[in-house]
Amino acid sequence: MRLMPDVGQSPRSSPRTGKPSTWRRGAVRCSAERTQTTPEEGRMYPTKMAEKQQFLAETATQHPQHRFSNLYSLLHWDCWMHAAAQRVLARPGSRTDGVDGTTRDAFRDDYERQMTVLISQLKRKTYKPQPVRRVYIPKANGKQRPLGIPALRDRIVQEAIRAILDPIYESDFEPHSYGFRKGRRTMDAIAVLMPLFNSVNKHYYVFEGDLQSYFDTVHHRTLMKLLRRRLADRDLLDLVWKFLKAGVMEDRLFARTESGVPQGGVISPLLANVYLNEFDRWAMERWDLSPYARQRRRQAGLGNYRMVRYADDFVVVSNAPKAEVQATMTDIRRFLEDELKLTLSTEKTVITHVNDGFEFLGFHIQRTRVGNRWAVHLRPTDEATARVKRKIKELTKRNWTWMDEYSRLTSLNAIVRGWAEYYRYTSLTADIEEVTRYTWHRYLSWLLKKHKGSRKRQLINQKTRVLHGRTRWHAFAAHGDRSIETYQWLPTRQELARERYRQKGKAGFPHPYLPDGATTAAEDNRGAQGPDERIYSVTVGASNRRQDMPLLQRERKLQAKLRDDFRCQACGTGNNLQVHHTKGLKSHTLQDLVTLCRTCHQATHRLSSPTI
């Protein structure tokens, strides 16, 4: 294909044949010999890349059987490569170096020379990827997950390849695939599953598929065979092959890669989706039936099936009897082994009834009876709750007491808010209550480790102020001078309330590289809009300090309880404590507040009987 059509041709088709036009060699000249760029040119690179990606997406969508050629020329087009470099260097992960030790700062300091050499090597076809650096990160089950970190220049080339292939394969991917795709997220996959378990659809049996070491077992030659169905550019295919065979460096020892795509590579998620798209097609051919065909199967005593896949995790739900679902599981296992050289985990691949509950993408889904009807509940898994509590515990250990209260609350705030944001569409009430209460106690424990002394005196004297009420609590830290202070505090359960997920309409997910879908994908990729940030932090100046009065009132109440040793000053009980205003509700000075139990407080207002 060519970046620009011949004179007089439509950019989509040849006037004589109606077939996709080919791209002229040499039409991709954007000063490949010159990589010294101005700021204005730098801002235009993403726009130019987006225009070419739209062209690729249109061609792939309109011509499903077309094989693309002359794509490699994009890799020595400086506009394309600089746009790829901008994306890679803007990511937080670019701070991690590869086997060559080149850091992001070092690359930026020598950016023009580095890019000139890289583009020149790609143009002369002398570029050779370096081995990935093997590192390990802990998994939820206690094991370790191997990651392969490419060198920074290799990540830029991978991003450039990904930018070419993604618009093409987004036109081919099946709709029930959600992982590593622009404009799609985990909740979209969950939202498709939930209605299938109702009393109308009755998809009660769930086949939980777990691919054993998927990213490490992708068969290289099978992957290249699948890529050649869409790509006729031998140079680009050869470069992908070089990345697959680049090898691994671990403890200064080199190991060849006979199979798999390294987790950590920029292009690996896309290649993993291309590989499993063959499985998606196999499932769609058998199970994506018309409503009439599905009804006929039910009348014949057969079940219908729906599959949802997110990367290497997938579930198949069915309204068939369990024996038929077991036979289908055998067919799935046979296809994966024979066609894709993949193995299903014997221990983790199970058939579950939705009434017993199952886990998918960190969510626990279970159908339970509520009164005289059935309801499907969605909540975080026990492991997900335990994981966030482990993070909170780690941040409130004694070895972190050198940090100031404001910074510590900022870190805890981010963890709790991020966790609640991911699960905000679930039945969250009990779980968020557990996490927020745990965070409160861990922070209080950390505070007492940081400031030696009694609990009461430290909570009164330190800059960190703690407010506690019957159903709402906050932990505060002030930061700044006396005239302008920024408060950071922990959110409450009420402030992290769940939301109702708004499903996509019948149109589904538009193509992210075509005009109708580009805006939607960009909005989705910014991340879901969380609760108002002002809930968690607010800057209070001298001119508007009154807006903080409700918070200060609750602070004074807690200080009064601390002063009174959490005892009623009339009868001495420690239960059902409230704070009485001796000079009316408008007075919030500490000397005008006294701690009373609820009974004595009511009696004070009714009869003024207790003597304090």
> Tell me: the pLDDT tens digits for 99-134?
998 989 999 999 999 999 999 999 999 999 999 999
Same domain, 385 and 480: yes
Residue-number span of the structural domain to which 587 is assigned: 564-612
Q: What does the pLDDT read at residue 44?
A: 77
Same domain, 483 and 542: yes
Which of the four pLDDT bands, split at 50, 70 and 90, describes residue 58?
very high
* Amino acid (one-letter) located at 101: G
Same domain, 419 and 487: yes
Same domain, 497 and 607: no
- Report how far residue 467's alpha carbon sits from residue 475's, in angstroms, rounded to the nearest whole number: 6
Q: Is residue 578 part of a domain?
A: yes
User: For 516, how many CA atoms within 13 A lie in the half-sphere containing its CB?
Assistant: 7
> How far lies 409's CA from each of 395, 415, 442, in Å?
10, 10, 11
Show which of 556, 583, 598 is a domain's final residue.
556
Lowest-confidence region among 495-499, 504-508, 544-548: 544-548
Q: What does the pLDDT read at residue 219?
A: 96
Question: Does pLDDT of 315 surpass 90?
Answer: yes
SS3 state at 56? helix
Q: Is residue 203 part of a domain?
A: no
Q: Is residue 30 part of a domain?
A: no
Same domain, 482 and 581: no
* pLDDT tens for each residue of 63-113: 999 999 999 999 999 999 999 999 999 888 888 888 998 989 999 999 999
Tokens representing residue 57 in the block: 């997406």
DSSP state of 263: B
- Report how far residue 22's alpha carbon sits from residue 70's, in angstroms, rounded to the nearest whole number: 8
Look up the pTM and report it. 0.76
Q: What does the pLDDT read at residue 60?
A: 96
Q: In the predicted model, what is the mean pLDDT of residues 188-193?
A: 91
The answer to whether the CB of 3 falls within 8 A of the CB of 52 is: yes
Q: Is residue 121 part of a domain?
A: no
Q: Strand 253-255: give its sheet, edge to edge.
A: 144-149, 132-138, 248-250, 253-255
Q: Is residue 526 part of a domain?
A: yes
* pLDDT tens for each residue of 464-488: 444 433 334 445 555 444 444 444 5
Q: What does the pLDDT read at residue 40?
A: 55
- Report how far residue 574's alpha carbon sits from residue 561's, in angstroms, rounded to the nearest whole number: 10
Same domain, 520 and 569: no
Q: What does the pLDDT read at residue 588?
A: 59
Same domain, 453 and 513: yes
Helix, strand, coil tally for the chain in percent (to 5): 45, 15, 40
Q: Is residue 21 part of a domain?
A: no
Q: Is residue 474 part of a domain?
A: yes
User: For 394, how many CA atoms within 13 A lie in the half-sphere containing its CB?
Assistant: 8
- Report how far residue 207's alpha carbon sits from residue 446's, in angstroms, rounded to the nearest whole number: 45
Q: In the predicted model, what is the mean pLDDT of residues 534-546?
A: 34
- Report how far residue 231's alpha carbon sits from residue 229's, in angstroms, rounded to the nearest whole number: 6
Same domain, 503 and 470: yes
Same domain, 584 and 506: no
Q: What does the pLDDT read at residue 416?
A: 86
Which of the four pLDDT bands, split at 50, 70 and 90, describes residue 532?
very low
Domain count of the fold of the chain = 2
The answer to whether the CB of 59 falls within 8 A of the CB of 5 is: no
* Amino acid (one-letter) located at 518: A
Q: What does the pLDDT read at residue 541?
A: 34
Same domain, 510 and 582: no
Show which of 556, 585, 603 is a domain's final residue.
556
- Report how far residue 322's alpha carbon sits from residue 303's, in angstroms, rounded to the nearest whole number: 10
Beta carbons within 8 Å of 170's beta carbon, 6+ residues apart: 57, 60, 181, 182, 511, 512, 513
Q: Is residue 529 part of a domain?
A: yes
Q: What does the pLDDT read at residue 497?
A: 54
Same domain, 416 and 552: yes
* Amino acid (one-letter) located at 450: K
Question: Does pLDDT of 396 surpass 50?
Answer: yes
Beta carbons within 8 Å of 302's beta carbon, 6+ residues apart: 320, 324
Q: Which long-range contacts (CB under 8 A, 24 or more apart) does 448-455 make?
A: 449/398, 449/401, 450/401, 450/405
Question: Does pLDDT of 326 surpass 50?
Answer: yes
Tokens representing residue 552 in the block: 């200060």
- Report how far residue 20's alpha carbon sits from residue 474's, in angstroms, rounded to the nearest whole number: 62
> How far lies 455's CA from each of 96, 452, 462, 563, in Å?
42, 9, 11, 11
Residues of 410-443 as b/e, b for ≥16 C-beta within 10 angstroms?
bbbbebbbebbbbbbbbebeebbeebbebbbebb
CA 103 from centre of chain: 25
Most confident of 281-290, 412-421, 448-457: 281-290
- Greater pLDDT, 492 or 45: 45
Torsion, CA 144, CA 146, CA 152, CA 158, rounded to 10 = -130
> How far lies 188's CA from each of 200, 417, 425, 501, in Å?
21, 20, 11, 9
- Report how far residue 348's alpha carbon sits from residue 531's, in angstroms, rounded to the nearest whole number: 36
Same domain, 459 and 593: no
